[in-house]
DNA sequence: ATATAAATGTTATAGCATTACATGGCGAAC
DNA sequence: GTTCGCCATGTAATGCTATAACATTTATAT
């Protein structure tokens, strides 16, 4: 895990945009946020995002084509993370479950499948929006 | 679940392309396959795919932006399906695990979250490609 | 200082998905 | 049998997401 202060200028800018977003945000939306800071091309955002993902500071939500600040200060590179995504208010909950992790690892080991990255995303409605 | 014979012409064409693919295939690749059959626009493919997904005959792989024929003849609209995707040979294994399903449902119920659709995709290397 | 790796800037392009609108087919209601 | 409503289709245009390719600059190590 890399410290906040290790970030380059572009990485800090993108991280700041993720923090302000308080929810999932697309790379292009991040770019629009940061045009006033001098960013001009999508690649500048995508490159910064790649590093932030590597550092575990942000996550990519595959079903939204969007990115979100990691909800946990701790490291979880070896964890299997799940996201619950409210389709109404777009709020996201990040969690992990050891039993789920064990079962998925059991399946992969039985098949001699070597996992590199796992995506788990539950779309639905949160308590507030379902009421 | 809808029967094979209920399919419209475009839906049958797209299903045929999925069957011939024997693996994940993008909507645009399907379109290219079906140009000789008269299809011309992406929307024709996407509309057919939407129906096939609804019927449970095909699945969308979010991490690949691709689609694949359902591996199981039975219905599993209420199941939570997982996919193991080999990043080398692109082969895909479709499976489900009751314990995983229970744990995810337990989490959502505890949060009063009402799930509508769950995505689980494990990227990695299959037995053959990891050897 | 020099070599090496990492990050950046810029343009262009590739790939994926939907909006909008017009048309056609087919069964139910009348 | 005609009218209506529904579903599928056809077509063009557009929007959104992501990467390739290449040149340049900046940081790091020896
Ligand atoms: Zn996290
Ligand atoms: Zn909500
Ligand atoms: Zn299936
Ligand atoms: Zn393989």
For A6-19, the pLDDT digits (tens) are: 899 999 999 999 99
Is residue A131 very low, low, confident or very high in pLDDT (cuts 50, 70, 90)? Answer: confident
Q: Sketch the domain layout of chain A as residue ranges.
A: 9-69, 81-130
SS (H, E, C) B68-124: EECCCCCCCCCCCEEEEEECCCCCEEEEECHHHHHHHHHHHHHCCCEEEEEEEEEEE
Bridge partners for B84 per DSSP: B93, B122
The ligand whose atoms approach the alpha carbon of B86 most closely is 4
**CA of A6: nucleotide with nearest C1':** D27
Distance B39 CA to D3 C1' (A): 32
Q: Which pLDDT score is estimated for B8?
A: 97
Largest CA distance in chain B: 52
pLDDT band at A3 (very low <50, low <70, confident <90, very high): very low
Token pair recorded at residue A74: 């701790």
Nucleotide closest to residue A64 (CA–C1'): D17
Is residue A72 very low, low, confident or very high in pLDDT (cuts 50, 70, 90)? Answer: confident
Provide the pLDDT for residue A1.
39
pLDDT at A79: 83
* pLDDT of amino acid B100: 97
**Terminal-to-terminal C-alpha distance of chain A:** 39
% of residues, chain A, pLDDT over 90: 89
Name the residue facing A124 among B86, B113, B127 (closest C-beta).
Answer: B113
State which nucleotides on strand C lie below 7 Å from a protein beta carbon. 7-12, 15-20
For residue A95, pLDDT over 90 is answered with yes
Cα nearest neighbour of A92 on chain B: B113
Query: Which of B63, B82, B116 is closest, CB to CB, to A123?
Result: B116
- The CATH architecture one would assign to domain B81-130 is 2-Layer Sandwich (3.30)
Query: Are A120 and B124 within 8 A, CB to CB?
Result: no
Share of chain A above pLDDT 70, in %: 92
* Amino acid B5: pLDDT: 54
Which residues of the protein have their beta carbon within 7 Å of strand C? A 8-11, 38-44, 47-48, 51; B 26-29, 41-43, 46, 65-66
CB contact under 8 A, A123 and B113: no
Query: Which option is the CATH number for A9-69: 3.40.1790.10, 3.40.50.300, 1.10.10.10, 3.40.1190.20?
Result: 1.10.10.10
What is the arithmetic mean of pLDDT over A91-116?
97
Digit-coded pLDDT (tens) for A19-38: 999 999 999 999 999 999 99
**What is the structure's pLDDT at A107?**
98
Q: List strand residue ranges (DSSP E) for A1-131, in order.
A: 58-61, 66-69, 82-86, 92-95, 114-125
Mean pLDDT in residue range A76-84: 84
**What average pLDDT is seen over chain A?**
93
pLDDT at B78: 67
Low-confidence ranges of chain B (pLDDT < 50): 1-3
Do the beta carbons of residue B82 and residue B95 sit within 8 Å?
yes
Contact A67, A24 (CB under 8 A): yes
Distance CA(A56)–CA(B112), nearest Å, equals 28
Per-residue model confidence (pLDDT) at position B72:
86
The pTM score is 0.94
| pLDDT for A5 | 55
Q: Which listed ligand is nearest to B131 at the C-alpha?
A: 4
């Amino acid at each position: 895990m890399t410290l906040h202060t290790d970030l380059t200028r572009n990485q800090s800018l993108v991280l700041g945009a993720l923090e302000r977003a308080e929810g999932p945000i697309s790379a292009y939306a991040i770019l629009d946020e940061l045009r006033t800071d001098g960013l001009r091309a999508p690649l500048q955002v995508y490159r910064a995002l790649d590093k932030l993902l590597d550092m575990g500071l942000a996550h990519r939500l595959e079903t939204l084509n969007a990115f979100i600040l990691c909800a946990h200060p701790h490291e979880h590179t070896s964890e299997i993370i799940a996201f619950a995504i409210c389709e109404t208010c777009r709020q996201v909950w990040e969690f992990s479950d050891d039993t789920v992790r064990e079962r998925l690892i059991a399946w992969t080991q039985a098949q001699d499948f070597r996992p590199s990255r796992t995506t788990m995303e539950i779309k639905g409605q949160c308590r507030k929006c379902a009421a």
